[in-house]
């Protein structure tokens, strides 16, 4: 089921996510989940969902997770570091990203995001550091 409020949050704060067609499934401080549908226009040769698309999905999902964990009085975050490991290709269906906070400090928030395919197989793992603004 689509989380309409979460999808609006993504699209209003990061218009690029609307262009990509990212939909939010769940959003809260402990877990943010979103997905993107496989589409030929987002692929490399061989019908593989482009790694940059998967990284964009993970970055946006992690950014919202960090935003929802901001210390009181802070207004936003920005990605200062991101590490991605790709483990398998997505050739159909959806890629689903799930982001959880690893560290929520006053200056930095570290988020881990796992990307799975529709069958639940791990596609990639992303760790990112967000500076608190």
Phi, psi of 40, rounded to the nearest 5 degrees: -55, -30
Per residue in 82-118, pLDDT (tens digit) is: 999 999 999 999 999 999 999 999 999 999 999 999 9
Kindly state the helix (H) or strand (E) to which residue 114 belongs, with its residue range.
Answer: strand 108-117
Q: Which positions ≥6 away from 32 have C-beta within 8 Å? A: 6, 24, 26, 61, 62, 64, 65, 68, 98, 99
The pLDDT score that the predictor gives to residue 123 is 98
For residue 27, give both structure tokens: 């959003």
For residues 55-75, average pLDDT: 97
Q: What was the pLDDT predicted at 116?
A: 98
* Residue partners of 94: CB distance under 8 A and separation at least 6: 35, 36, 37, 38, 117, 118
CATH topology of domain 4-132: Thiol Ester Dehydrase; Chain A (3.10.129)
Closest CA to 132 of 93, 85, 80: 80
Q: State the pTM of this model.
A: 0.96
Length of the chain: 133
Residue with tokens 């309409």: 4
Spell out the domain ranges in the chain.
4-132
């Amino acid at each position: 089921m689509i989380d309409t409020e979460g999808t609006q949050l993504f699209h209003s704060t990061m218009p690029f996510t609307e262009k990509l067609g990212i939909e939010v499934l769940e959003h809260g401080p402990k877990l943010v989940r979103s997905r993107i549908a496989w589409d030929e226009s987002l692929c490399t040769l061989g019908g593989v969902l482009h790694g940059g698309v998967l990284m964009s999905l993970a970055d946006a999902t992690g950014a919202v997770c960090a935003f929802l964990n901001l210390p009181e009085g802070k207004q936003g975050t920005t990605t200062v570091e991101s590490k991605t490991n790709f483990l398998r290709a997505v050739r159909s269906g959806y890629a689903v990203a799930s982001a959880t906070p690893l560290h929520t400090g006053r200056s930095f928030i570290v988020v881990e995001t796992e990307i799975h395919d529709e069958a639940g197989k791990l596609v990639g793992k992303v760790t990112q550091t967000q500076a608190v603004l």
